[in-house]
A = this chain, B = another copy of it.
Amino acid sequence: MEAVARKFKPKDFKSELKPIWCPGCGDYTVLNALTRALAELELPPEEVAVVSGIGCSSRIPAYTSVYGFHGVHGRALPVATGLKLARPELTVLVTGGDGDGFSIGGNHFLHACRRNVDITYIVMDNQVYGMTKGQASPTTAPDWEGSKLTPEGTGINPFQPLVVGLASGANFIARVSSSDPVNMAQIIVEAIRHPGFSLVQVLSPCVTFRPEQAEWRDIVRTAVVDFTGDAARAARRLMTDDGFNVGKVLYKGERPPFRPEHEPTDGSIAELEARFAL
């Protein structure tokens, strides 16, 4: 068979399955942007894998036409790490929610940033647990009283994913809004292209349990400054921003990705065994 360069359209990256999402959920846009990005990258679907945990947002893999893995709650990053290290030639993405990634999955988030394997992590942050019908997530404001579990609000400082990601060593950091799918697709393309661990926070409203997030499309603004490669500077910026500067890459690092050598070497099993022989 002759090698013909295949051309792809966004819809080639969509599966036939109808999402279980509520009408109006921000995650539809993320699915669109993702398929658009993959088309732009001209990646054959079989060479891409999308890994996720559990949550509304974590349902994305099955809605794409690439290889997917829908694992357990909070463990998508280690699954993706193992997959990428075992199969470095694949393009590996992780998709999920703020609960999956920053609550139960927080430790893997820290160590994925630190380990800097060449994967791209897209977090649909809706500041709520959608799937379990509306509890506070780590990114929820402390005074949100919408959950019966925390009827007086959580009283806890929201988690700052980008600041913590930066502090832990993420190599590429961006924030986008689901109200601008074209920009989002563009940033996802950049994130995938950038070597190492790329973190993309998507402000993706949960229309059902956080209807007030409909306002986000009016609140967000395009970040004024372009990205920096200086982590300390990026930290200062991120620690003072209000979470609504979107649409741009905020940090790009130069650390080489973690990729242990494992080309087959000369060694044979017989050599290993010989060391036990008397």
Contact = CB atoms under 8 A, between A and B. Distances in A.
A103 to B, nearest CB: 8
A141 to B, nearest CB: 13
B106 A156 contact: no
Interface residues of A, number: 34
A155 B115 CA distance: 8
Contact of A155 (B111, B166, B239, B260): B260
Interface in A162-181: 163-164, 166-169
Contact of A164 (B116, B157, B168, B232): B168
B260 A159 contact: no
Contact of A163 (B106, B158, B167): B167
A231 B168 CA distance: 16
Given A106-B110, A164-B167, A167-B164, A116 B236 contact: no
Contact of A168 (B155, B159, B235, B260): B159
A103 B106 CA distance: 11
Interface string A87-128: 000000000000000111111001100111000000000000
A228 interface: no
Interface string A211-248: 00000000000000000000111011001100000000
Contacts of A168: 159-160, 164
Which residue among A167, A231, A240 has the maximum number of chain B CB atoms within 10 Å of its CB?
A: A167
A130 interface: no
A240 B235 CA distance: 11
The 8 closest A-B pairs by CB, nearest first: A107-B107, A106-B107, A232-B239, A167-B167, A163-B167, A157-B169, A235-B235, A164-B167
Interface of A: 102-107, 110-111, 114-116, 138, 155-160, 163-164, 166-169, 231-233, 235-236, 239-240, 255, 258, 260
8 contacts: A110-B164, A114-B138, A115-B156, A115-B157, A155-B260, A164-B167, A232-B235, A235-B235
